[in-house]
């Protein structure tokens, strides 16, 4: 319980103590008065310190075990002040050793404890800058001494887990806008192709029903023609297979094209100074961050369509595996599995994940791989192993197009015109990368994989469109 001088004591010493010390060295009766004044000042400060030293902590602070927050959204940290004995009014200043990824507003708040209340609830606003799991292990309290000359401090150990979930507002708003019929790249109501493959009921034969729809056993039992009625499948299984290996750690800015490379240099995680929240907020999200947001929103859309949604993560080994289900509890389980997921600096093992899914999934399902295949070695490894899954399942690979992988003569307003020889070589290199991705896509389509390139700005909307297209064409 340390005692530190308050600002009031510093002002008293500066305005009263210094002149008294000068008088004490003057000599004569003035010196005697100066020494008496200094003694009285020291006595008052000592009595104030003794009263403060004998005082117990003003309150015991309790926090919930888990606090859930969303990235870039201000959320409350609920505190409860529990007091015993004399319930007098008082002011308490708080402090906490929060991680630099979480900003408190304000940093050191002052809480008014009213008289007569044993339990006081108060919310401390927090602004998280990064997704992940953080631990708060102590709360610092500061209170003025009875005369206000000292600041008395206590440290209370606590255990509170701060869980910061991805921010889905931008992509959710993007999807909501695209539901409108006037959206050019939106989620439109699609006409279902075909009559469906899931049995619904039996009914009386109607002239014109095809012979293959006649249920012959029911016809024999009822002694009149009976036909089958089919419906569109509503309970299909959708799995997102999320790659969290080294390529997912790359930055994915929200601007497409080579113009994104000419912007100001963004500091990387290791170069951030302590408390440099401005650079942290300005840094573009990683590719894994974008894929996590799209995966969660795809699961939301799949649930609204009546399908079951599952989740698989992998690097050089299989990570979490959530069996396809639906409901609010399952959606929360998916968020819990992804909120602390961070990329690992290892190469993905496609043989391991394909073999695992081949054994774990016995029913035909739609497998959406969110990975990057702009590395030719990884692309060949994926094509060589994906045959284990395409024999039974429908495999989609919607890959985010790298910003520089653009055709040489693309009519893209985000692409800056060629101004010098260096820009020309840069555009030529981007064209070669784009052409390599096209060749990879052709090879994967021959292997039975539905490959497509997604724009970074419209990644979530295009991913959901691809899923709804599969539903509309009944490919699953």
pLDDT tens sequence across 57-88? 778 889 999 999 999 889 999 999 888 776 67
Q: Which residue would you say has higher pLDDT here, 300 or 232? A: 300
Residue 458 has pLDDT above 90, yes or no: no
Cβ(66)–Cβ(164) under 8 Å?
no
- Residue holding tokens 């510093």? 10
The overall pTM is greater than 0.85: no
pLDDT at 63: 92
pLDDT at 253: 67
Percent of the chain with pLDDT over 70: 84
pLDDT confidence of 416, banded at 50, 70, 90?
Answer: low
Phi, psi of 310 (to 5 degrees): -125, 165
Reported as a single tens digit per residue, the pLDDT across 302-315 is: 988 889 999 999 99
Which of 100, 144, 94 has the alpha carbon at shortest distance from 124?
Answer: 94
Reported as type and span, the H/E element at residue 60 is strand 60-62
148: left (phi over 0), alpha (psi -120 to 50) or beta: left
Reported as a single tens digit per residue, the pLDDT across 189-244 is: 555 555 556 667 788 888 888 888 888 888 898 888 988 887 666 678 999 999 99
Q: How far, in Å, are 266, 356, 373 from residue 353 at the CA level?
A: 34, 5, 15
């Amino acid at each position: 319980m340390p005692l530190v001088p308050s600002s009031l004591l510093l002002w008293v010493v500066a305005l009263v103590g210094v002149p008294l010390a000068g008088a004490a060295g003057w000599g004569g009766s003035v010196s005697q008065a100066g020494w008496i004044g200094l003694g009285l000042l020291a006595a008052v400060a000592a009595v104030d310190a003794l009263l403060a030293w004998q005082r117990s902590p003003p309150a015991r602070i309790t926090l919930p075990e888990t606090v859930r927050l969303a990235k870039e959204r201000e959320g409350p940290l609920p505190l409860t002040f529990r007091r015993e004995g004399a319930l007098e009014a008082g002011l308490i200043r708080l402090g906490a050793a929060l991680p630099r990824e979480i900003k408190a507003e304000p940093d050191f708040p002052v809480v008014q404890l009213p008289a007569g209340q044993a339990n006081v609830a108060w919310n401390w606003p927090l602004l998280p800058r990064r997704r992940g799991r953080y631990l708060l292990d102590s709360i610092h309290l500061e209170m003025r001494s009875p005369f206000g000359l000292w600041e008395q401090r206590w440290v209370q150990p606590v255990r509170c887990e701060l869980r910061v979930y991805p921010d889905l507002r931008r992509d959710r708003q993007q999807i909501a806008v695209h539901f409108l019929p006037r959206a050019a790249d939106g989620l439109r109501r699609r006409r279902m192709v075909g009559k469906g493959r899931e049995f619904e009921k039996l009914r009386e034969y109607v002239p014109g029903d095809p012979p293959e729809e006649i249920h012959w056993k029911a016809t024999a039992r009822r002694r009149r023609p009976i036909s089958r009625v089919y419906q569109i499948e509503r309970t299909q299984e959708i799995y997102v297979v999320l790659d969290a290996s080294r390529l997912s750690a790359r930055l994915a800015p929200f601007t497409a094209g080579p113009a994104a490379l000419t912007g100001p240099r963004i500091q990387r995680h290791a170069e951030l100074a302590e408390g440099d929240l401005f650079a942290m907020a300005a840094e573009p999200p990683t590719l894994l961050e974008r894929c996590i947001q799209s995966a969660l929103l795809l699961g939301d859309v799949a649930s609204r369509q009546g399908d079951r949604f599952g989740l698989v993560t992998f690097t050089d080994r299989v990570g979490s595996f959530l069996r396809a289900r639906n409901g609010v509890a399952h959606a929360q389980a998916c968020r819990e599995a992804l909120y602390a997921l961070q990329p690992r600096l290892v190469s993905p093992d496609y043989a391991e994940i394909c073999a695992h899914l081949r054994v774990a999934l016995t029913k035909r399902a739609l497998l959406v791989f969110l990975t990057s295949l702009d590395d030719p070695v990884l692309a060949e490894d994926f094509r060589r192993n994906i045959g284990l899954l395409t024999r039974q399942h429908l495999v989609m690979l919607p890959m985010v197009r790298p910003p520089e992988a653009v055709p040489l003569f693309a009519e893209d307003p985000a692409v800056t015109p060629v101004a010098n020889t260096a820009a020309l070589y840069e555009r030529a290199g981007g064209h070669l990368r784009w052409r390599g991705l096209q060749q990879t896509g052709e090879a994967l389509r021959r292997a039975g994989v539905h490959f497509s390139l997604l724009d970074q700005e419209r990644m979530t909307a295009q991913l959901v469109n691809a899923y709804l297209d599969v539903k509309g064409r009944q490919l699953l």
